[in-house]
Structure 1
Amino acid sequence: MVSFIPGIELSRHFYEDVVKKLIDRPHAAALIGEGSEVLGFDQQRSTDHSWGPRMQVFVSASHVNEVSKAIEHGLPAVYKGYPVRFYSWQTESVRHHVEVTTLDHWLSVQLKIDSHTELQKDKWLSLPQQHLLQFTAGAVFHDELGELTRMRKQLSWYPTDIWLWMMASQWHLIGNTEPLLGRTVEANDGRGSLMVAFRLVRLIMELCFLQEKRYWPYLKWFGTAFSRLRVASEIGPVLDRILGSSNHQDRENAVKQALEIVAERHNTLGLTPSVIPKFEPFQVGINDAVRPYRVLNAGSYVGACKSAITDETIRMLAHVGAIDQLTHVDDALINFTSWPDRLKHCYKAEMDLHITN
């Protein structure tokens, strides 16, 4: 068995030792796009399909054919014990995986954007974080053109108003979910209580990603990526208590502690005036009804985020969240359907309502 080499490291050496010597035109070279190795999460198990020395090489349109031919004829059969040509599920054939293209073509196919047009608000809201992560993670091995580095920086995080609205939406989702924990316990619904607790854990973890300005990946790598956040060592054990407790009071206490952590971290961001976390009986909002479940004043964090948004069309949107907050984003939806593009039009239509009104 060949000794395992992390994919980024393997591809970096492959570029330096082999591919670079085959290109005599201005270019950029990187490992981005799909694959656990792009995220830095690959293991020996990852090598069982579509894994090996690979990369993207970006050149001008006039040089694509020339560089493609040079690479096709110059690549070895094996590199560091790994086949250079291996199965591609995209083409259902065995081929090398040094993709030679233009940056504009890659962006058009993978993200449905181009490098010459500023992203509009509706596009930001409908771009799956997995796609943004695939472009901004990985590694750049060479970029004498500078365009790839510029675009990665441009897409490294959301514009501030979009970011604030997404955090407002996340606080709204947490605020709507938290009182259900006490209600399910009161109804003697142990299974329902666990489901609500697990939902809260997911929402809190998502908020942690937002607060640290990190795109979250799809479910397979969500927990792994979360473990690398700065807050993980502090809040992780608390979330584990929520997930592992069989006592509803212990679970509720752990939820309170976790929410206190993200509430205080909200204040350290300095994006809004500080909000003091308070836990008070749940106010239903109808007929002055008050229930005895002590919940965080999540609405205050929603309001603080919204008040800091300068773009009124974003501030006035209902708190449904961007595509990853609104949907169960999976491979089928984001890669094989037109749903992201349809949602882009939906977000635009909602914002247009506030312009016309």
Structure 2
Amino acid sequence: MTTPDTSDDAFVPGLRLARALYEEAVRPLLAREFPHLPYAAARVGAGSEVLGFDSARSADHDWGPRLELFLSPADAARHGPRLHGLLAHHLPRQVRGVPTHFRRGEDPHDPVRHLAWTDGPVDHRVEVHDLPSWLAGRLGPAAAPPGPDTPGPDTLGWLALPQQRLLEVTAGAVFHDGPGELTAVRERLAWYPEQVWRYLLACQWQRISQEEAFVGRCAEAGDDLGSAVTAARLVRDLMRLCLLLERRYAPYGKWLGSAFARTEAAAELGPLLRGALAARQYADRERYLCEAYEAAGRRHNALGLSAPVEATRRPYHGRPYLVLHTERFARPLLAGLTDERLRALPPVGAVDQWADGTDFLGRPHPARAAVDALANRSEVEGS
């Protein structure tokens, strides 16, 4: 058999393939075999195509015509196995020239699947789930049962949710939603409640304030590598700040630059951040960073979340390093909080503002436990 053509010229975005698979194959089969079955069909969850960042490179593993079907828990248990088998025997072997068969790898430690042609049943990626279980697997104890009248996560629940996990639920595309529950969940999780958003913005400014002087201090100590590494950390924090300012969830590191490039801030801050990263001398590094701080500060002030803060560089206390003293942006946000649980917390933010280990953030229960422990400790210290 020939190898599937996944070159740049032949590339079809994964969301388009998913929609074609649903419209041309899955929907007709469901209408014929399960005419009264309530379901939702979507392409959500993990995958570069869900974020709209897939390319021909993505086709080398776990990418292709695939989607998720969401049934009620009872219907998933009753009809899931039969539905999976029907799809294996009745799906077309290709959609838009791309195979629907996913060959399983032989390495048990690398369980990715690859597109391949087949003459037999299709080992497909139309996955059948019940929505509550699927949500719990991604969001853990912060996941609320689906339903248009169900409130979203509580305050601490929001802080336990990494932004990438929120993107997995709210990005992508929904092709059909008979029960309406998936749509309701996506709307409920589309962005933070205002109080949580203000708190996270304050904490992001606070993160920057803690290191903005270290670029100069490292350079003064003769540690140019340390100065450059600190500058890179600040660039990352500024990118995540801009996404927060524009009410956009930040993806995991691989796609952070791609997501930032789609912000309104990118045209102004992008050249400054690239300049800070490329700088070979501390003076240039400082200049680019200060211009970026000031630009971000102006954008913050334009939101009107607090009284305007002067967004101009200044010396770091009595030392000769120029900074913005970005804690000045954090303070009024924190002072204006009305949510008592947030007011009681230190300005550390959501779990992915103070931890970035993939193996940790990918496990919802430890993330929630860490947030709960922080909140409990704050209550004890405040009592």
Identify whether the pair has TM-score above 0.5, normalized to the shorter chain: yes
Return 5+ residue gaps in structure 2 as ranges. 114-121
Does the residue aligned with 1:141 lie in a helix, a strand or coil? Answer: strand
Distance (Å, rounded) in 2 between the aligned partners of 1:140 and 1:54: 13
Q: Deviations over 1:115-138 (max 9, x none)?
A: 246311221111111110111111
Opposite residue 40 of structure 2, the aligned amino acid is A
Separation in 2 of the partners of 1:199 and 1:101? 39
Q: Are 1:184 and 2:218 an aligned pair?
A: yes
Q: 1:200 offset after TM fit, Å?
A: 1.2
Call closer, same or farther: CA 1:275–1:88 in 2, change over 3 Å.
Answer: farther
Corresponding residue for residue 167 of structure 1: 201
Q: Tell me, what secondary structure is at the counterpart of 2:206?
A: helix
Are 1:130 and 1:217, in contact at CA under 8 Å, matched by a contact in 2?
yes
Q: Return the letter of the residue paired with 2:332.
A: A
Partners of 2:151 and 2:327 lie apart in 1 by 36
Which one of the candidate residues 349, 352, 367 is aligned to 1:321? 349
Give the aligned partner of residue 104 of structure 1.
Answer: 132
Matched position secondary structure for 2:42: strand
Partner of 2:71: 59
Q: Whole-Å Cα distance in 2 between the matches of residues 205 and 40 of structure 1? A: 19
Secondary structure, counterpart of 1:18 in structure 2: helix
SS in 1 for 2:298: helix
**Alignment pair present for 1:335 and 2:362:** yes
Q: Which stretches in structure 1 are left out of the alignment for 5+ residues?
A: 284-289
Find 1:137's aligned residue among 146, 171, 174.
171
What's 1:228 paired with? 262
Show CA shifts across 1:33-66 (max 9, x none).
0011111111111111111211111122333233
Root mean square deviation, CA, Å:
2.2
Q: Deviations 1:209-260 (Å, cap 9, x if unpaired)? A: 1111111111111111111111111110011110111122122111110000
Matched, 1:72 2:78: no
Give the whole-Å Cα distance in 1 for the aligned partners of 2:220 and 2:17.
55
Equivalent residue, structure 2, for 1:22: 29
C-alpha distance after superposition, 1:274-322 (max 9, x if no partner):
1122332212xxxxxx222222131221111112211132123112221
Do 2:62 and 2:112's aligned partners in 1 also have CA atoms closer than 8 Å? no
- 1:21 is displaced (CA, Å) by 1.0
Q: Please give the TM-score of this superposition, normalised by the length of structure 1.
A: 0.91
Q: Which amino acid aligns with 1:327?
A: A
Distance 1:339 1:195 in 2: 29
Alignment match, 2:56: 44
1:95 aligned counterpart, secondary structure: coil
State the TM-score, normalizing by the size of structure 2: 0.85
1:34 maps to 46
Paired residue total: 349
Q: What is the rounded CA distance, in whole Å, between the counterparts of 2:227 and 2:79 in structure 1?
A: 62
**Alignment of structure 1 residues 343-354 onto 2, 5 Å:** 343-350=370-377, 352-353=379-380
- Aligned amino acid, residue 86 of structure 1: F
> 2:157, 2:374 → 1: CA distance?
8
Q: Which moved more, 1:235-244 or 1:60-69?
A: 60-69
Please list the CA deviations of residues 65-117 of structure 1 after superposition, one character each: whole Å capped at 9, or x if unmatched. 33652453132333333332314689778832111222112112221223246
Aligned partner (choices 13, 31, 34) of residue 6 of structure 1: 13
* Most deviating of 271-280 and 91-100: 91-100
Residue 117 of structure 2 aligns with which residue? none
* C-alpha contact (below 8 Å) 1:317/1:350 kept by paired residues: no
Which one is further off, 108-117 or 313-322? 108-117
Amino acid at match of 1:4: F
The answer to whether the 8 A contact 2:306-2:333 is kept is yes
- Determine the C-alpha separation between the residues in 1 that align with 2:287 and 2:183: 45
Q: 1:163 to 1:54 in 2, by over 3 A?
A: same
Deviations 1:151-188 (A, max 9, x none): 10111111111111111111111111111122122212
Contact 2:138 2:364 in 1 (8 A): no
Query: Of 254, 263, 268, which residue of structure 1 is paired with 2:302?
Result: 268
- 1:248 corresponds to 2:282: yes
CA distance in 1, matches of 2:285, 2:111: 49
